[in-house]
Amino acid sequence: MMKKIGVFLMLFILVAIILLPGCDDENTLYVYNWGDYMDKSVIKQFEEEYGVKVKYQTYTTNEDMYVKINSGSAKYDIIFPSEYMLHRMAQEGLLQSINLNNIPNFALIDDIFKNAEYDPGNVYSVPYLWGTVGILYNKSMVNETVDSWDILWDKKYEKKILMVDSQRDSIGVALKRLGYSMNSTLEKEIDEAKESLIEQKPLVLAYVVDEARDKMINNEAALAVVWSGEAILAMAENDDLAYAYPKEGSNIWYDCVAIPATSTKKDLAEKFINFLCRTDIAYLNAEYTGYSSPQMEVVEQLDEELRNNPTAYPSNEIISNCEVFKYIGDFVEYYNKAWIEITAN
Amino acid sequence: MRRWLSYPYLVWMIMFITVPLLLIVFYAFTKQTDGGIVFSLDHFRQILDPLYLKVFLRSFKIAFISMLICLLIGYPVALFLSSKDFSQKSTYLMLIVIPMWMNFLLRTYAWLTLLENNGIFNKLLEFLGFGKVQFLYSEGAVILGTVYNFLPFMILPIYSVMVKIDESVISAAQDLGANSFQVLLKVMIPLSLPGVISGITMVFMPAVSTFVISRLLGGGQFALIGNIIEQQFLLTGNWGFGSALSFVLMVLVIISMFFMNANERNGKESML
Amino acid sequence: MSKSLKKAYLWLIILFLYAPILVLMVLSFNDSRSRATWGGFTFRWYIELFKDRDILLALYYTLAIGLLSSVIATIIGTFAAIGIFGYKKLSYSLVKNISYIPVINADIVTGVSLMLMFVFLGINQGFFTLLLAHITFNIPYIIFSVLPKLHQMDIHVYEAALDLGANPFMSIIKVVIPEIRPGIITGFLLAFTLSIDDFVISFFTSGPGVTNLSIEIYSMARRGINPKINALSTLMFVVVMALLLIVNKRSASNTEKKVRRDI
């Protein structure tokens, strides 16, 4: 009996070793993306068209991803940093330049998204998706107009508010509410924002990132700070939900595709980036994630309703009232500290 | 017997147990300056910041309450199970052990569904005519999750000590006129103390360092030491401070190991 | 206290331990995404579960790492125990205490320390580092299951084998190992279950494209409640139940055998 089990075990191990899909071969592309930020069929299609394998993994915030890449503990070939993180990583030499000649589909990206302040000349990045931050609320629980961040500090909604478990976003909301810039580098302003978030804490149900959508769909909370795509997907499933831009202004962000410096498969990575910019693929991703596409043909193909939906494609007036996060250098330490104080309190 | 048989393991032990721990010590006691890496106690000074002391205090409080609840509800279970009037001990024991074999995350996740505002518990309360209660994302939810996950760790070590208590000691006490309460107080509790101590450490240690339960059931509001360590390593990249926190946890472990040196029995072992 | 009261208390505790799992099992057949309403019976979530490539891959890694790490740990650990058994008192307790560290240390500290070392050595995190980490925390469990059996063993049997001219290695394989086999099997099973259940250490030591079930569930749970996880829970519960029943039968028949032999 024992012998049989032993033989069986040995066989299994042999088979396991032979089949080990973890072996790093030249034809495997390691993609590190935000949770739920790409249609899975896109990956399958890329694998089939190019005869390669894609290993796909997800992160929850820019900071998570940054630490993983910076520590050198993990080698990825494709990442999706937001603009301020991209700026930081480029400055710290964590990215390699992209040869735009290998990305013919780059021409399909709307010019207003190119050559941005965070990456002049698109040396390191190609735009992927963009969106805003706003308040998703449940009309059956909130009977007033939502037009200000102040509502998140309203005692009426005690334990019915979901905040974002991401330091730049949550501190940014508090800064905007106080009338400051989301990119403030004044200790006094950060301290004030920190205090107001600590003061708000008893009202907050939870600090979440990806759970917010599910919670809002199931009427578990009245108000949530969410990214626009989450709002679109949630609103499609629950008619009581609505999305509002606070009058104090909000955050507009651009997520990009980039290649970490440690990647040894630049060619394949560039093929992947080009693939992501292809109209049919970019369309699939825009539809799946609910976020707004910088790709012109995609926007044209979208159905009328979504294209005119101010949540996804806000008016210029709203956009001009939104701020883009900027890389704030070493001052980020101060944000880190403030954030830990808020969560630990 | 042949000592050389252990040499591969010795190499392994040094490589993967000793060296990593030394690295933690190294990161905890040094800091990066312009002039290179220098010895520094800065990270420990940072731990003394009232903010982190608060986190430590909260971790200990939650772990202590959870441990106490585990003890209060677990001790009678062990006591009843070991008493002679139970015939199908192994069946009951197995019933208590089986949930432990489910994935730890699934066990925690289960409570997410139960405790929601529109979850089963609140539906039940509503049905019975009570109002809704905010269960999820509270300190109570974290404690509940901890108790649920670690209760068997309390029951098993106590039980395994109790079944070995000689029946004749109990009957001797009874013959001498002790009532059942006195038997419990004067005989069972002192004799089962090694199991209790073992159970306490088995529950307290993982409870104090957990970051999953507090993250999932506490909604990111009840940061424990585990959460802060995770944050240092995965979010802010401040490995020195994270290592210092880990070092403190390690010292705590060593102290508790010292206290229960006499009882080497490990609860996880007794599960099989 | 009366027996029925005790029994009632035990069943109350058992109810507490099982209720959450049972609720998940029921909900796994609920044809509505919402947890609040019953939308009819369905196998939909099971079908979706088996279509989910990530979960299946995570399952594969969980089993592969579990088996590989427990087998390797069993081999290294068994020989280590035999070797340590022959140590002098001081080195015996030194090695034993160091080996005890991963057992008693907080998982997060073990995980973080291994991560630091992999980064320090510049090893890319992935399947290999995950395997190393699992072997590392598994070995001590083997050693501590085998050592007591060595103490119980009659050392003269081994010496007799040597006297009869067997070489030391052969006598260990042919004489010692069979004697301590129950300890080895216990250790192996323990290592395997700990490996497939681990989250914290894996969380810190896995890398691109390699996750196990625990990590996958964690990231899914952070995205909200997903009926697929309910289906997964149900399946795992059924498998665990079945395995335990089989193992229990086996050990029951083993005890019988042992009793007969003793007579």
B183 at A interface, C-beta within 8 A: no
pLDDT at A136 over 90: yes
| Three-state DSSP state, A171 | helix
The average pLDDT across A182-191 equals 95
User: Which residues of B are less than 8 Å from A214 in CB distance?
Assistant: none
Tell me the CATH number at A225.
3.40.190.10
pLDDT digits (tens, 9 = 90+) for C192-206: 988 988 999 999 999
Cα–Cα dist C259/A44, whole Å: 58
Residue A204 resides in a domain: yes
User: Which residues of C are less than 8 Å from B109 in CB distance?
Assistant: 24, 217, 221, 229, 233
A143 at B interface, C-beta within 8 A: no
A25 at C interface, C-beta within 8 A: no
Cα–Cα dist A127/A277, whole Å: 9
pLDDT digits (tens, 9 = 90+) for A25-53: 678 999 999 988 999 999 999 999 999 99
Residue A15 resides in a domain: no
Same domain, A136 and A239: yes
DSSP conformation letters of B30-98: EEEETTEEEE--HHHHHHTSHHHHHHHHHHHHHHHHHHHHHHHHHHHHHHHHHSTT-S-HHHHHHHHHH
Same domain, A67 and A83: yes
Pairwise CB contact (< 8 Å): A56 & C126 = no
Neighbors of chain A with 3 or more C-beta pairs under 8 Å: B, C
Pairwise CB contact (< 8 Å): B234 & A336 = no
Q: Which of B117, B223, B236 faces A220 most closely, judged by CB atoms?
A: B117
| Three-state DSSP state, A250 | strand
Single-letter code of the amino acid located at B25:
V
| Residue C206 DSSP class | -
Pairwise CB contact (< 8 Å): C219 & A74 = no
| Residue C33 DSSP class | S
CB C149 within 8 A of CB C87: no
C211 at A interface, C-beta within 8 A: yes
User: Which residues of A are less than 8 Å from B118 in CB distance?
Assistant: 218-220
Single-letter code of the amino acid located at B260:
M
pLDDT at A5: 55
For chain C, 263 residues long, give each residue's pLDDT as a single digit of tens: 678 888 999 999 999 999 999 988 998 998 877 776 788 899 999 999 998 888 898 999 999 999 999 999 999 999 999 999 989 989 998 999 899 888 888 999 999 999 999 999 888 888 999 999 999 999 999 999 999 999 988 888 888 888 888 888 888 888 889 989 999 998 998 899 889 889 999 999 998 878 899 998 988 888 877 888 889 989 988 988 887 777 776 555 554 444 444 43
Same domain, A175 and A65: no
pLDDT at B268: 41
User: Which residues of B are less than 8 Å from A219 in CB distance?
Assistant: 117-118
Cα–Cα dist B25/B42, whole Å: 13
Total number of domains constituting chain A: 2
Cα–Cα dist B230/B161, whole Å: 36
Cα–Cα dist C192/C67, whole Å: 6
Going from the C-alpha of B247 to that of each of A65, A175, A305, B29, C27, the distances in angstroms are 25, 36, 57, 10, 43
User: Which residues of C are less than 8 Å from A22 in CB distance?
Assistant: 61, 126-128, 209-210
pLDDT digits (tens, 9 = 90+) for A109-126: 999 999 999 999 999 999
**Which of C127, C135, C185, C223 would best serve as a mutation to test chain A binding (most A beta carbons within 10 A)?**
C223
Q: Chain-centre distance of CA C22, in angstroms?
A: 23
Per the listing, tokens 């032979």 go with A18
CB A230 within 8 A of CB A169: no
Pairwise CB contact (< 8 Å): B206 & C107 = yes
B259 at C interface, C-beta within 8 A: no
**Closest CA of chain C from A103, distance in Å:** 25
Same domain, A196 and A329: yes
Residue A188 resides in a domain: yes
A159 Cβ partners below 8 Å, 6+ apart?
A: A203, A204, A205, B134, B137
Domain extent at residue A339: 131-251+318-344
Backbone angles phi, psi at A164, to 5 degrees: -90, 135
Q: Which of B23, B208, B246 faces C120 most closely, judged by CB atoms?
A: B23
pLDDT at A1 over 80: no
Same domain, A268 and A298: yes
Q: Which of C33, C126, C225 faces A22 most closely, judged by CB atoms?
A: C126
B80 Cβ partners below 8 Å, 6+ apart?
A: B86, C6, C9, C10
pLDDT at B267: 42
**Closest CA of chain B from C263, distance in Å:** 24
| Residue B3 DSSP class | G
Name the packing angle between helices C213-221 and B104-115 (round to 10°): 20
pLDDT at C31: 87
Q: For a pLDDT cut of 90, what percent of chain A falls above it?
A: 77
Half-sphere exposure of A103 (CA within 13 A, CB side): 26
Size of interface B-C (CB pairs under 8 A): 247
The average pLDDT across A145-174 equals 95
Structure tokens at B12: 């392994």
Pairwise CB contact (< 8 Å): A12 & C67 = yes
Cα–Cα dist B41/B117, whole Å: 46
Same domain, A243 and A287: no
Structure tokens at A60: 């929850």
Same domain, A277 and A135: no
Q: For a pLDDT cut of 70, what percent of chain C falls above it?
A: 93
B140 Cβ partners below 8 Å, 6+ apart?
A: none
Cα–Cα dist B233/A106, whole Å: 36
pLDDT at C107: 92
User: Which residues of A are less than 8 Å from C115 in CB distance?
Assistant: 73
Residue A195 resides in a domain: yes
Pairwise CB contact (< 8 Å): B253 & C189 = no
DSSP conformation letters of C82-128: HHHHTS-HHHHHHHHHHHHHHHHS-HHHHHHHHHHHHHHHTPPPSHH
Q: Residue A7: pLDDT band by 50, 70, 90 thresholds? A: low
Residue A189 resides in a domain: yes
The average pLDDT across A310-325 equals 92
Same domain, A114 and A190: no
Cα–Cα dist A34/A164, whole Å: 15
- Report all structural domains of chain B as residue ranges with CATH numbers, in order of start: 41-270 (1.10.3720.10)
Strand partners, A96: A259
User: Which residues of C are less than 8 Å from A24 in CB distance?
Assistant: 124, 126
Pairwise CB contact (< 8 Å): C207 & A55 = no
Same domain, A92 and A32: yes
Which pTM does this prediction carry? 0.89
Pairwise CB contact (< 8 Å): B16 & C136 = yes
Residue of B nearest to C187 (CA): B269
Query: Quick one: residue C40, left, alpha or beta (phi over 0 = left, psi -120 to 50 = alpha)?
Result: left
pLDDT digits (tens, 9 = 90+) for A83-101: 999 999 999 999 999 999 9
Q: For a pLDDT cut of 70, what percent of chain A falls above it?
A: 93
**Which of C61, C112, C217 would best serve as a mutation to test chain B binding (most B beta carbons within 10 A)?**
C112
Residue segments in chain B with a per-residue pLDDT below the cut of 50: 262, 264-272
Size of interface A-B (CB pairs under 8 A): 62
Q: Chain-centre distance of CA A203, in angstroms?
A: 26
A52 Cβ partners below 8 Å, 6+ apart?
A: A27, A28, A29, A46, A268
Residue A7 resides in a domain: no
Pairwise CB contact (< 8 Å): B134 & A219 = no
pLDDT at A323 over 90: yes
Residue A304 resides in a domain: yes
pLDDT at A24: 54
- Report all structural domains of chain C as residue ranges with CATH numbers, in order of start: 53-242 (1.10.3720.10)
User: Which residues of A are less than 8 Å from B121 in CB distance?
Assistant: none
Q: B94-97 long-range CB contacts below 8 Å, 24 or more apart?
A: B94/C244, B94/C248, B95/C14, B95/C17, B96/B152, B96/B155, B96/B156, B96/C13, B96/C14, B96/C17, B97/B152, B97/B156, B97/B271
pLDDT at B245: 95
Length of chain A: 345
Same domain, A226 and A295: no
